[in-house]
Amino acid sequence: MNYTLNQLQIFVKVAQTKSITRASEELNLTQPAVSIQIKNFQSQFELPLIEIVGKKVYLTDFGKEIATSAEEIIEQVYAINYKMRAFQGQLFGRLKISIVSTGKYVIPYFLTDFLKENQGVELSMDVTNRGKVIESLKNNEVDFSLVSLPIDGDQYDYMDLLSNELFLVGNPELVAQNPAFNQNQLPSNLPIIFREPGSGTRMTMESFLENQEIHVVKKIELMSNEAVKQAVIAGLGYSIMPIIGIKNELQNGSLVIIPQKGLPITTQWKLVWNHGKKHSPVAKAFLQYVMEHKDRISQKYFK
């Protein structure tokens, strides 16, 4: 056996993502580079580690055992580095966070100064949909998550960071051409663009439409906030979107807010973690930093 730490890290990432493509993106490597390292790693075992069906990767039972051992080895290597840094009086370790896609407009402002002050801290951040964020919390795979709606169950602790306001928006030319818009009721034939099922924004939209007794005749469903934004700009339809992700578009006039009864909807961006979780020194330091500086960050960047 002559496998390298790099091969272990790549194999673990492929095992976690179940995709060569996704693993290469998260590792900032090319797909051929990842495939070659997986092939070299596999060559050292007589039993197969993975099976590829279509473009999806499936771990064999033996592969699952090796992935578990590889994770333990990587953690031990990190622990050695952490201990060395700790003896030198430095904060050192990994901070693992999962966030819903719109959260990418929020969390960087709470991380920047913390990471600058603690050069030995490595950040691992997964930007994904709400369902996977909740799954990563349940599996205790992350230190913290960022969501805009509470998660069902009482096994989580929360810290409010700032308000999340959602408005009905549309292409300004189409809005100007539609005289049916008013303060009380949306036009019945309005094409509405939704996020995918399970999205926090989708849940908020559906609750609003139900409460206002608005029946959507034409529904368009897209998988990311950015895709929804571009579709609205292009005039495919209208959507209810968090203002935090469309500030530039509102300022340059490619989107306009359409005043409606019951809007804006206000939720809260929340940092969430498992109740009773034993935080690492890095996670403890980050939590303390956010508690002390969240009001200043909110005023400076989100006023």
- pLDDT for 188 equals 64
- pLDDT tens column, 106-150: 999 999 999 999 988 989 999 888 988 999 999 899 999 999 998
Strand 121-128 relative to strand 156-170, pairing: unpaired
Q: 226 versus 26: which is more confidently predicted?
A: 226
Question: What's the whole-number mean pLDDT along residues 22-49?
Answer: 90
Cβ proximity of 244 and 161 under 8 Å: no
High-pLDDT (> 90) share of the chain, %? 61
Question: What's the whole-number mean pLDDT along residues 176-203?
Answer: 78
- pLDDT for 166 equals 96
- 78: tokens are 């990190």
CA distance 70 to 76: 10
- pLDDT for 235 equals 92
CA distance 70 to 214: 52
- pLDDT for 239 equals 95
Determine the CATH number of domain 1-89. Answer: 1.10.10.10
CA distance 272 to 269: 10
Closest CA to 76 of 142, 5, 12, 1: 5
- 243: tokens are 């203002």
SS3 assignment, position 26 = helix
CA distance 110 to 162: 11
CA distance 25 to 53: 20
Distances (CA, A) of 47 to 50, 73, 76, 173: 9, 20, 25, 62
> Is a pLDDT exceeding 60 seen at residue 220?
yes
> Is a pLDDT exceeding 90 seen at residue 183?
no
- pLDDT tens column, 225-248: 899 999 999 999 999 999 999 999
Q: Indicate the DSSP class of residue 151.
A: P
Question: What's the whole-number mean pLDDT along residues 65-70?
Answer: 93
Question: What's the whole-number mean pLDDT along residues 159-171?
Answer: 95
> Is a pLDDT exceeding 80 seen at residue 90?
no
Over the chain, what is the mean pLDDT?
89
> For the chain, how big is the Rg over CA atoms in Å?
23
Superfamily of domain 164-266: Periplasmic binding protein-like II (3.40.190.10)
CA distance 283 to 226: 30
Q: At residue 280, what are phi and psi to the nearest 5 degrees?
A: -70, 165
Band (pLDDT 50/70/90 cuts) for residue 33 is very high
> Is a pLDDT exceeding 80 seen at residue 87?
no
CA distance 96 to 124: 5
Provide the H-helix boundaries in 153-235: 172-177, 200-211, 225-234
CA distance 216 to 220: 10
Cβ proximity of 92 and 81 under 8 Å: yes
Question: What's the whole-number mean pLDDT along residues 151-179?
Answer: 91
Question: What's the whole-number mean pLDDT along residues 267-282?
Answer: 93
Q: Which residues of 171-191 are buried (b: 16+ CB within 10 A; e: fewer)?
A: beebbeeeeebeeeebeeebb
- pLDDT for 83 equals 67
> Is a pLDDT exceeding 60 seen at residue 98?
yes
Question: What's the whole-number mean pLDDT along residues 202-222?
Answer: 86
> Is a pLDDT exceeding 90 seen at residue 67?
yes
Question: What's the whole-number mean pLDDT along residues 38-48?
Answer: 93
Q: How many other CB atoms are found less than 10 A from the CB of residue 212?
A: 14
| Every domain range in the chain assigned CATH 1.10.10.10 | 1-89
CA distance 16 to 9: 11
| Every domain range in the chain assigned CATH 3.40.190.10 | 164-266
